């Protein structure tokens, strides 16, 4: 049995030590076999579980899920430590230095009295520290693995910093209408590839409208998805109360139920 001091309360140093033990020669067979790639998706899953805890306003669950995310950080850091490249302490050191550098209004003599000024300074400092000489480089630095909706809105935001933007939400709405008309036109031609490209432009235009209105697309669509499930459940319950099943009804019959319920989904 591995020697380890049991405690009533553990800290980050204990977490690092436990991970070292699990990855050691006499440690856990499963933990020893893992690579960055093999547990890559675990990081994504744990992050989404943190979001679920936030959305449900569950502090106990949030504490647990944040611990799972921290475990992923320690796990990946331990792998790198074994290769002699960096450790968890190096990760903490780098993020501390980054926070100090990007908050000169706190740790230096720069003045920033509003959140907008803070973000402007942050973006400028980030661009300099990452040696980005063009705005195109800032767009290319958006992670390719981001969900497409999130990526589109972030690209639009960064393009806007270079002045490539709509003058107003109304202009963005006009562009959205134009792209919608284009999708209708192209889809009637029967060319799926062209229709797909047109749909991409339409979806991107939606993110531009949301950005101009100060709305987060990812949050909005997620909320709509949850509402859709609730509305769908209400519709199905109503149908089953009448002794029917959804899949046995025609489109017209389903539309009739939807209209009675006053739903727009």
Domain residue extents for the chain: 12-101, 220-261
Is the distance from CB of 142 to CB of 125 less than 8 angstroms?
no
Q: What is the pLDDT of residues 103-113, one digit of tens each?
A: 999 998 888 88
- In this predicted model, which residue has the larger pLDDT, 5 or 178? 178
CA–CA dist 49, 43 (Å, integer) = 10
Task: Burial-class residue 103 by CB neighbours within 10 Å (0-12, 13-18, 19+).
Answer: middle
Distance CA 78, CA 72 (A): 10
Output the pLDDT for position 33: 97
State the chain's mean pLDDT as an integer: 92
What values do phi and psi take at 195, rounded to 5? -65, -40
Average pLDDT over residues 235-253: 93
Percent of the chain clearing pLDDT 90 (strictly above): 77
pTM of the model as a whole: 0.72
| pLDDT (tens digit per residue) in 184-228 | 999 999 899 999 999 999 999 999 999 999 999 998 998 999 999
Rounded CA-CA distance 209/166 in Å is 9
- For residue 37, count CB atoms less than 10 angstroms from its CB and return exposed for 0-12, middle for 13-18, buried for 19 or more: exposed
pLDDT band (50, 70, 90) for residue 263: low
pLDDT digits (tens, 9 = 90+) for 75-117: 999 999 999 999 999 999 999 999 999 999 999 888 888 988 8
Residue range 12-101 in CATH 1.10.287.1080? yes
Average pLDDT over residues 110-134: 85
Mapping DSSP onto H, E and C, the string for 207-242 reads HHHHHHCCCCHHHHHHHHHHHHHHHHHHHHHHHHHC
Place of tokens 């987060």: 216
DSSP state of 35: -
Both tokens of 57, joined, read: 């306003």
Is the pLDDT reported for residue 1 higher than 80?
Answer: no
**DSSP structure class, residue 225:** H
| Residues 4 and 18 sit within 8 Å (Cβ to Cβ) | yes
């Amino acid at each position: 049995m591995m020697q380890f001091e049991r405690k009533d309360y553990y800290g980050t140093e204990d977490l690092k030590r436990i991970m070292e033990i699990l990855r050691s020669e006499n440690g856990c067979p499963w933990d020893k076999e893992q690579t960055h790639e093999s547990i890559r998706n675990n990081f994504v899953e744990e992050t989404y579980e943190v979001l679920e805890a936030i959305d449900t306003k569950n502090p106990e669950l949030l504490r647990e899920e944040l611990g799972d995310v921290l475990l992923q950080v320690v796990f990946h850091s331990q792998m790198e430590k074994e290769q002699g490249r960096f450790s968890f302490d190096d990760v903490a050191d780098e993020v501390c230095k980054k926070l100090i550098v990007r908050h000169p209004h706190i740790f230096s003599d720069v003045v920033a009295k509003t959140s907008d000024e803070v973000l402007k300074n942050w973006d400028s400092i980030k661009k300099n520290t990452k040696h980005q000489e063009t705005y195109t480089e800032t767009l290319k630095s958006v992670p390719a693995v981001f969900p497409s909706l999130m990526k589109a809105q972030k690209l639009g935001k960064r393009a806007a910093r270079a002045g490539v933007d709509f003058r107003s939400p109304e202009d963005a709405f006009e562009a959205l209408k134009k792209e919608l008309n284009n999708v209708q036109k192209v889809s009637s031609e029967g060319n799926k590839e062209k229709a797909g490209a047109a749909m991409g432009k339409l979806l991107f235009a939606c993110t531009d409208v949301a950005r101009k209105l100060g709305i987060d697309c990812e949050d909005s669509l997620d909320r709509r998805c949850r509402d859709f499930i609730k509305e769908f459940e209400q519709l199905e319950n109503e149908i089953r109360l009448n002794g029917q099943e959804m899949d046995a009804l025609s489109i017209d019959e389903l539309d009739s139920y939807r209209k009675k319920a006053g739903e727009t989904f």
